[in-house]
Amino acid sequence: MIKRTIHQIVEMLDGAFFSNLDQHVEIQGVSIDSRTVQSKNLFIPIKGEHFNGHEFVQKAIDLGATATLWMEGEPCPPTEIPVIYVKDTLVAIQTLAREYRKQLQTKVIGITGSNGKTSTKDILASLLETQFKTQKTFGNLNNHLGVPLTILQLEPETEMAVIEMGMSGLGEIELLSSIALPDVAIITNIGEAHLDQLKTRERIAQAKLEILSGLRHNGTFIYDGDEPLLQEAVQIQNLGDRAVTVGLKSSNSYYPFFISIEREGISFSLPVQRPIFYLPMLGKYQVLNALSAIAVCHYYGISNEQIRNGFLQAKITGGRNELIKTPKYTILNDSYKSNPSSLCVSLETLSTLDYKKKIVVLGDMNGLGSDEVSLHEKVGEQLDPKHIDYVFTVGKLAEHIAKVAKGRFPEGRVTSYQSAEQGELIDQLKVIAETDSIILIKGSRENKLDIVVEELKDSSASTREAVEVS
């Protein structure tokens, strides 16, 4: 984490001034949340539309904050610790992170994309750890506050940092890239997420390509070579051999020679020397995420043997294509986010798996704009009773999935619920999900489908305990 004196912090925040200052006091790390302040933190109060972090500075001091930033014009600054005055605390934390990044020797890999950026982050970090001291974005800290916080948590001796970058509109990735200054930039794919803001896939591609704005001189760009929208844009950039493509087509720099989908993972190989890798994650699309990670590793001299070991040690963020084995059934937990392209690949993955019974619980796909109803209806058209036994939907938008699917499935096999917290949904799943069933749970986090996941996990554990006792 960042460790600097007050004097150094003021210098990094050009234009700041201070009071109550012992300029030799050292801060260790930063916090924007008074509930999680650690000893010697620099507290940075963020002011939003419905909250004002300045109101919680005393709590931060009580928990051990050494100093605080303070927005000019805010009343009643504290007197017992150094106060660094800035025009805007949000801009200040972004500036501080950018300056700290410039002072580090760490190589930064920035990752964005409509789908797969979290999985790619997790896979890549596990591979890099086989040779380098590595840190990565924690959880979902991938926005205008999360990226600065991630960078400010980097230790000086960290050699590799894998930084995830999310967005909802134009200009956001450009800002994050200017803060992280990546040595390698990755775009996993272009999907339909954020159509409500950006309207078209072309504008989504434009927004994702903003990651190149902060790419360091001679930096490498890795992207989905099967996506025409990216191919056309990259040609204009004139990156030459600094552009590396991944995809299923043999025209890409990295593509799979073969793919074998198994119950708990995927085996695949590369065409040159045909090294075989095993990734303990489900979904053919995960191969593309793995190829991006391999491309980075080859760029930094990591061997195929180290890559094999790294795949086996991958630590995956929960709620993203997470395979949960219980004593009774298997849960495929993808409850964090859903959009048409990611749902399509989840259903494709499910169709390739060999289980006695297959059940899907599908929540709303948010952020789709004016086409949201028709896009949900298309999902209902894609659901195949040959590969799926039961369909449950959660939410008002997902109800459109069920309405179409009911015409394709036997009576009683498709059911709609408005909330994941309705007890009937959990009860029905517990009855239907017999031994050797798999349950795909896919939706946006607003649907709170993680509640369903936890209930099913607890239910299966209770079943096991009852059997053991009897």
CATH code for the domain of 23: 3.40.1390.10
| Residue 238 resides in a domain | yes
My answer on whether 274 and 343 are in the same domain is no
My answer on whether 20 and 59 are in the same domain is yes
Please indicate if the annotation marks 462 as binding a ligand.
Answer: no
| Residue 99 resides in a domain | no
Q: What is the residue-wise DSSP string for 45-79?
A: --B-SS-BGGGGHHHHHHTT--EEEEETT-S---S
- Residue 337 has what pLDDT? 83
| Residue 228 resides in a domain | yes
| Residue 98 resides in a domain | no
What CATH code is carried by the domain that includes residue 295? 3.40.1190.10
What CATH code is carried by the domain that includes residue 334? 3.90.190.20
Task: Note the pLDDT tens digit of each residue in 210-248.
Answer: 999 999 999 999 999 999 999 888 888 878 889 999 999
My answer on whether 335 and 270 are in the same domain is no
At 388, is the secondary structure helix, strand, or coil? coil
| Residue 160 resides in a domain | yes
My answer on whether 221 and 287 are in the same domain is yes
| Residue 97 resides in a domain | no
Please indicate if the annotation marks 112 as binding a ligand.
Answer: no
- Residue 469 has what pLDDT? 29
Domain's final residue, options 92, 125, 150: 92
My answer on whether 338 and 369 are in the same domain is yes
| Residue 317 resides in a domain | no
Distance CA 403, CA 416 (A): 9
Amino acid identity of residue 94, one-letter, is Q
Contact 363, 442 (CB under 8 A): yes
Question: What is the tally of structural domains in the chain?
Answer: 3
Q: For residue 28, what are the β-bridge partners?
A: 3
Domain's final residue, options 39, 72, 92: 92
Domain's final residue, options 285, 312, 339: 312
My answer on whether 255 and 334 are in the same domain is no
Please indicate if the annotation marks 370 as binding a ligand.
Answer: no
Contact 452, 426 (CB under 8 A): yes
My answer on whether 144 and 270 are in the same domain is yes
Please indicate if the annotation marks 121 as binding a ligand.
Answer: no
My answer on whether 290 and 337 are in the same domain is no
Domain span at residue 327 reads 322-469
My answer on whether 121 and 231 are in the same domain is yes
Please indicate if the annotation marks 116 as binding a ligand.
Answer: yes
Please indicate if the annotation marks 40 as binding a ligand.
Answer: no
- Residue 20 has what pLDDT? 67
- Residue 257 has what pLDDT? 95
My answer on whether 109 and 248 are in the same domain is yes
Amino acid identity of residue 83, one-letter, is V
| Residue 444 resides in a domain | yes
Please indicate if the annotation marks 447 as binding a ligand.
Answer: no
My answer on whether 109 and 250 are in the same domain is yes
Distance CA 372, CA 126 (A): 36
Between strands 266-269 and 258-261, the pairing is: antiparallel
pLDDT by residue for the chain (470 residues), tens digit each?
999 999 999 999 987 777 767 778 899 999 999 999 999 999 999 998 889 999 999 999 999 999 999 999 899 999 889 999 999 999 999 999 999 999 999 999 999 998 889 999 999 999 999 999 999 999 889 999 999 999 999 999 999 999 999 998 899 999 999 999 999 999 999 987 777 777 888 999 999 999 999 999 999 999 999 999 998 888 888 788 899 999 999 999 999 999 998 888 899 999 988 889 999 988 888 999 999 999 999 999 999 999 999 999 988 877 777 888 888 899 999 888 888 888 988 898 888 888 999 999 999 998 888 889 999 999 999 999 999 999 999 999 999 999 999 999 999 999 999 998 877 898 999 899 988 899 999 988 888 899 999 988 876 554 433 223 22
Task: Name the nearest CA neighbour of 295 among 227, 233, 243, 238.
Answer: 243
My answer on whether 71 and 179 are in the same domain is no
